[in-house]
Amino acid sequence: MLAGSFASIPLTLFGLTLVTFLIGRVMPIDPVIAIAGDHAPPDVVAAVRDQLGLDKPLLVQFWIYLVNLVHGDLGRSVMTTHPVTADIAQFFPATLELATTAIIIAIIVGVPLGVFAADRQGSRFDHVVRVVSLAGQSIPVFVLGLLCLLVFYVKLGIAPGTGQLDVAYQGLVPRVTGMLVLDAAIAGDWDSFWDALAHLAQPALVLAYFSMAYITRMTRAFMIESLSGEYIITARAKGLSAARVLWRHAFGNIAVRLITVLALAYAGLLEGAVITETVFSWPGLGLYLTVSLLNADMNAVLGATLVVGLIYLILNLLSDMAYRLLDPRVA
């Protein structure tokens, strides 16, 4: 069963590559015109098309891309003129920093909320948690992001603006991991550290709220099912404390299933950070993907899409492995 999951990764990536490649080729935006310009002479347009290999049949273009992909070559970005692999290595750490911070906040807040809401099912607290969770999954991320900037940056002036760092601190922190808060801490530059942390707070909290809503609802649903089990009645009849019954027996029974939820939520943050990064001008893979798409830079779009898809598959596979290791009943 696990071997089948491993075998499905290349097949899924192939399907993702094929679909993304075909969509890129049927888009109304011509990458050749984007490079050469609207008023470029026909001979220049033809030369650029030949250089990019876009004058070849579609099947040949896809085969060439696959061969290069197997050798780790994602092509060269038209927008940055750098290899796409180098661009991804530069921009992805910022996305990783944002998504990791968001999922940590979401877990710390969402899991206890879901547990206590299930324990107090039907209470006022439970109703409040449900409304907050429903709002978190209903409000579009870009709306929440724009509202945060309007209220906390424009109106109140208590939060920094967009970007990852103020202009005064840019270029002062040596790049080690690519995650600016961590790099500033490693360098001991605490002024840059606090400034980077302040810039990270708003987009991370926006993403965390979206993910926290999903985690809270799933935790609550799992806990309600677990608390209705006969073993919970037995544990209470033995005189065990309420906290022990709630966390050791009820929560312990759902912890394995919750791992899959958390892994998929994390993968969703890495994928869904595209909109948040665009709103907050966060220099991550999502913003890189958006700008590349607007500039018809299909090598960059394909490369970024494949990276996101691969991360999603790996996290899903790891959660599946953890599920099987922690729960022997799963074959």
Indicate whether 267 belongs to any domain.
yes
Indicate whether 304 belongs to any domain.
yes
Q: How many Å apart are CA 177 and CA 243, to the nearest integer?
A: 40
Single-letter amino acid, residue 77:
S
Single-letter amino acid, residue 279:
V
Single-letter amino acid, residue 308:
V
User: Tens digit of pLDDT per residue, the chain (331 long)?
Assistant: 555 566 677 787 788 788 877 877 776 666 676 666 667 777 777 787 777 677 778 888 888 888 888 888 888 887 788 888 999 999 999 999 999 999 999 999 999 999 999 989 889 999 999 999 998 888 888 888 889 888 888 888 888 888 888 888 888 888 888 898 999 999 998 999 999 999 999 999 999 998 999 999 999 999 998 888 887 888 888 877 888 888 888 888 888 888 888 888 888 887 767 788 888 988 888 888 888 887 778 888 888 888 888 888 888 788 777 777 766 555 5
CA proximity to 16, closest of 331, 301, 326, 309: 309
pTM (predicted TM-score): 0.84
pLDDT of residue 278: 86
Residues facing residue 83 across a β-bridge: 76
Q: How many Å apart are CA 268 and CA 176, to the nearest integer?
A: 26
Q: How many Å apart are CA 5 and CA 236, to the nearest integer?
A: 40
Domain boundary among the residues 70, 93, 122 is at 70
Indicate whether 266 belongs to any domain.
yes
Pair 305, 159 in one domain = yes
Expressed as residue numbers, the domain containing 89 is 84-326
190-227 vs 252-279: helix axis angle to the nearest 10?
140
CB 158 within 8 A of CB 152: yes
Domain boundary among the residues 15, 48, 70 is at 70
CB 263 within 8 A of CB 315: yes
pLDDT of residue 107: 94
- Write the DSSP string, 120-189: TTTSHHHHHHHHHHHHHHHS-HHHHHHHHIIIIIIIS--S--SSSS-GGGTT-SPPSSS-HHHHHHHHT-
Q: How far apart are the first and last CA of the chain?
A: 8
Indicate whether 76 belongs to any domain.
no
Rounded (5°) CA angle 181-269-95:
35
Indicate whether 302 belongs to any domain.
yes
pLDDT of residue 35: 67
Pair 14, 141 in one domain = no
Indicate whether 213 belongs to any domain.
yes
